């Protein structure tokens, strides 16, 4: 529902209660710690998330052993937090280790194993190993169709992930075809208003934009935004993401003043809803700077790039690709 502040508060209360009633080493307490780490991650508190995942993993090793499903799940989650904080090489190594252990302990066709293979493919994609990502996503999709069936939510997600990998590898027409197929399946299985269906429509709009079908992209983004506001509300993170994407489509189609206005609204709302240091907020700040640059407001763009750079260095570190991207844009404007 996007009510992350409330969710985080409840997770903190549950963890405190379990530590008091069950003790710090009870398996349910470890589960609550893992859940709280996920809550921190959702709120953009990435350092706190990684630290708590690392503590929970160490405790799971000590109490449950390296091959316990709970331990393996926490290692998978820890790898995910490394991805979020730009520690992509560590994430890939950890995913590969977890995958080897999951195949040995649970088997190649276990849903947890397939989930980790999907996550590893995503890490490959983020580290530029695009062909490996595409190959692994294709294998995962085939196995999920066989094990869980073509209509299982995990299978539908894997189909969308493969479409994204096709898009990243320059296979834009394949991406559009697979997104359209995934959208049809999600409408049939989950319904038109399911959040996953709306996400796929958003992704399809992005693929249309990549293939030059700009008017279709803008129209689809506008439709999805209307539906997201109705279904999830104006402040839901998915709604804010789509508003950000629509602003980008406006910018790409020369509707610069509309793009600037929408980016400004999105940034204000993200700062209020998720906080100034959330990755989505920092991305929106950089996007607004680019829109200012496109509209000739160079001093405003420089100022905003400087703010975005400071935020990314603080949250992600100076060597994260997103940080370096902002630095390159700032250097281009300032000479």
Range of the domain at 40: 1-85
Please report how the helices 153-168 and 172-190 are oriented relative to each other, as an axis angle in degrees rounded to 10. Answer: 160
Residue 2, pLDDT score:
65
178 found inside a domain: no
Structurally, the chain folds into a number of domains equal to 2
Residue 1, pLDDT score:
66
12 found inside a domain: yes
206 found inside a domain: no
175 found inside a domain: no
CATH number for the domain that contains residue 289: 1.25.40.10
156 found inside a domain: no
Convert the pLDDT of each residue in 316-335 to its tens digit: 788 877 888 899 988 888 87
253 found inside a domain: yes
Mean pLDDT for 180-191 is 95
Among the candidates 64, 85, 106, a domain finishes at 85
Tell me how crowded residue 120 is: count the other CB atoms within 10 A of its CB: 24
Rounded CA-CA distance 278/274 in Å is 6
Alpha carbon distances (Å) from 38 to 56, 110, 127, 172: 12, 22, 22, 33
Convert the pLDDT of each residue in 29-82 to its tens digit: 999 999 999 988 877 787 888 899 999 999 999 999 999 999 999 999 999 998
Among the candidates 85, 105, 128, a domain finishes at 85
Cβ(60)–Cβ(70) below 8 Å? yes
pLDDT-derived band of residue 264, with 50, 70 and 90 as boundaries?
Answer: very high
pTM for this predicted structure: 0.84
146 found inside a domain: no
Among the candidates 58, 85, 112, a domain finishes at 85
Rounded CA-CA distance 160/168 in Å is 12
Widest distance between CA atoms in the chain: 61
Residue 58, pLDDT score:
95
189 found inside a domain: no
């Amino acid at each position: 529902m996007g009510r992350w502040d409330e969710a985080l508060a409840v997770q903190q209360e549950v963890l405190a209660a379990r530590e008091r009633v069950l003790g710090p080493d009870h398996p349910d307490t470890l589960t609550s710690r893992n859940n709280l780490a996920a809550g921190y991650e959702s709120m953009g508190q990435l350092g706190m998330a990684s630290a708590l995942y690392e503590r929970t993993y160490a405790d799971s090793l000590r109490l449950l052993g390296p091959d316990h499903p709970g331990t393996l799940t926490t290692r998978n989650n820890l790898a995910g937090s490394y991805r979020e904080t730009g520690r992509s090489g560590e994430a890939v190594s950890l995913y590969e280790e977890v995958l080897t252990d999951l195949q040995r302990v649970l088997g190649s066709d276990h849903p947890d194993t397939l989930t980790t293979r999907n996550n590893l493919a995503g890490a490959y994609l983020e580290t530029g190993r695009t062909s490996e990502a595409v190959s692994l996503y294709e294998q995962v999709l085939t196995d999920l169709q066989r094990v869980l069936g073509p209509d299982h939510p995990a299978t539908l997600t894997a189909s969308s992930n493969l479409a994204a990998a096709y898009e990243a590898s320059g296979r834009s027409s394949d991406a559009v075809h697979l997104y359209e197929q995934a959208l049809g399946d999600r409408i049939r299985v989950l319904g038109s208003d399911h959040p996953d269906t709306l996400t796929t429509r958003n992704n399809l709009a992005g693929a249309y934009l990549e293939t030059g079908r700009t008017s279709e992209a803008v129209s689809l983004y506008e439709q999805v935004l209307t539906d997201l506001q109705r279904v999830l509300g104006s402040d839901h993170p998915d709604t804010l993401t789509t508003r950000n994407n629509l602003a980008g489509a406006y910018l790409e189609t020369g509707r610069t003043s509309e793009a600037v206005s929408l980016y400004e609204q999105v940034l204000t709302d993200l700062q209020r809803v998720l906080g100034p240091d959330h990755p989505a907020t920092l991305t929106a700040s950089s996007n607004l700077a680019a829109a200012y640059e496109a509209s000739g407001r160079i001093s405003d763009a420089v100022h905003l790039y400087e703010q975005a750079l400071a935020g990314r260095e603080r949250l992600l570190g100076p060597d994260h690709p997103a940080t370096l991207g902002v630095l390159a844009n700032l250097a281009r404007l300032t000479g």
